[in-house]
């Protein structure tokens, strides 16, 4: 089979389709009388016209006619060149010369905003004394390949965050909710113009980083200060013939809290005295009990042991009302009380209390009760 010549590409009325045609010269009667003639069509594309900057050759279709309609295959902003090879039962003489670069007349669009930008989790870094949020997102739609993502964050104000919440109807994630709900959806910008609303943003202290195009998650390694509101912005960039295009930004706000016990990996353990006798309970009923609250220092260890004298009410539920510190010396018949690290559930602070060898239960029984 002769090598195809005269390759032409014409855009159709539907701007994302085109027709590729070619000419076959010196076809013999034997060539014309068979239906076994096939034409292999290949292309390569790039953002610029220079072939050296384009992708390798790729086979896109095989036809038995001397034209091909490309439907929904071409993308705006890309240059395409084509080549063909004619093949029959005896083989092929090779590919044709490349066509001239072809580009759709439709203008390329900047990428959309990344979808579902979310605070997946947030932990407190003891070394930095700051919150470290982990962000996830879904890549945006784009006519051109994503070059990279640009992530920026800066301190904002509670007032502006509240305005944003009212306008979008989306709740601003905070440290406690992010730590318990790993994939809560957050706001994604939706073409809002924030530049005219927030006058309290500390944009002079903006932090930015560049994220590779293949990534869909990252974390702010430098961390966020406690008890602050931050605005976080993420957008994609692409290279085009007009230069670099910046996509629509996805925006969320992150409200950090103070350091809490959410990161403690172990429970807090106490040693408790057995419940008092009935006569002792009667005496305690007539006595006023004073409860003292002491601030816990930041250097508190994960496991604490102390002696407490609980007042227990054994009924449908078991509740601890008051405690009094006792000296360990001369203390006999102590029972161990295991209090699980407090955690958030359904926007409420909860914990779990277990004890063994208490007169109120058998040695094989653990009693659990949510405190809050």
Q: Are strands 353-355 and 130-138 parallel, antiparallel or unpaired?
A: unpaired
Amino acid 128: pLDDT: 86
3-class state of residue 165 by DSSP: helix
End-to-end CA distance of the chain: 83
Domains in the chain, start-ordered, CATH in brackets? 5-95 (2.60.40.10), 115-259 (2.60.40.10), 264-292+299-355 (no CATH)
On whether the CB atoms of residues 304 and 339 are closer than 8 A, the answer is: no
Among residues 165, 137, 130, 358, the alpha carbon closest in space to that of 236 is found at 137
1's tokens: 């089979």
Q: What is the pLDDT of residues 10-25, one digit of tens each?
A: 998 877 789 999 988 8
Cβ(272)–Cβ(310) below 8 Å:
yes
Q: Which of 233, 237, 235 is nearest to 251 (CA)?
A: 233
Residue 337 is predicted with a pLDDT of: 66
pTM of the model: 0.56
Q: Please check the confidence at residue 185 and state whether its pLDDT lies above 60.
A: no
| Stronger pLDDT, 60 or 222, i.e. the higher one | 60
Q: In the structure encoding, which two tokens stand for residue 73, read together?
A: 């295959």
Q: What percent of the chain has pLDDT over 70?
A: 59
| Contact predicate 106/16, CB 8 Å | yes
Of the pLDDT bands very low, low, confident and very high (cuts 50, 70, 90), residue 298 is very low
């Amino acid at each position: 089979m002769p090598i195809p010549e005269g390759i032409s590409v014409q855009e159709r009325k539907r701007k994302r389709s085109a027709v590729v045609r070619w000419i076959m010269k010196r076809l013999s009667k034997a060539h014309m009388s068979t239906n076994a003639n096939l034409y292999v069509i290949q292309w390569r594309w790039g953002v610029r016209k220079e072939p050296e900057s384009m992708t390798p050759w790729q086979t896109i279709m095989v036809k038995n006619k001397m034209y091909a309609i490309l439907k929904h295959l071409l993308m705006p902003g890309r240059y395409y060149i084509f080549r063909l090879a004619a093949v029959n039962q005896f083989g092929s003489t090779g590919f044709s010369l490349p066509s001239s670069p072809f580009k759709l007349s439709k203008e390329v669009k900047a990428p959309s905003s990344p979808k579902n930008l979310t605070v997946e989790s947030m932990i407190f870094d003891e070394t930095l004394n700051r919150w470290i949020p982990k962000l996830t997102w879904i890549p945006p739609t784009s006519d051109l390949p994503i070059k990279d993502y640009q992530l920026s964050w800066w301190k904002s104000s509670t007032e502006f965050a509240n305005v944003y919440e009212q306008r979008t109807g989306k709740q601003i994630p905070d440290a406690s909710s992010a730590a318990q709900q790993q994939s809560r959806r957050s706001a994604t910008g939706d073409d809002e113009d924030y530049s005219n609303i927030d006058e309290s943003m500390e944009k002079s202290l903006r932090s930015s980083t560049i994220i590779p195009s293949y990534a869909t998650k990252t974390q702010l390694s430098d961390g966020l200060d406690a008890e602050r509101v931050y605005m976080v912005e993420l957008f994609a960039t692409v290279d085009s013939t007009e230069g670099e295009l910046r996509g629509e930004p996805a925006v969320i706000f992150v409200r950090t809290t103070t350091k809490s016990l959410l990161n403690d990996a172990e429970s807090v353990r106490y040693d408790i005295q057995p419940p008092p006798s009935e006569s002792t309970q009667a005496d305690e009923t007539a006595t006023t009990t004073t409860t003292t609250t002491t601030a816990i220092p930041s250097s508190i260890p994960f496991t604490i042991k102390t002696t407490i004298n609980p007042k227990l009410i054994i009924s449908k539920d078991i509740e601890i009302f008051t405690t009094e510190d006792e000296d360990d010396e001369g203390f006999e018949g102590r029972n161990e009380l295991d209090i699980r690290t407090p955690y958030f559930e359904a926007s409420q602070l909860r914990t779990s209390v277990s004890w063994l060898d208490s007169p109120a239960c058998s040695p094989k029984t653990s009693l659990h009760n949510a405190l809050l």
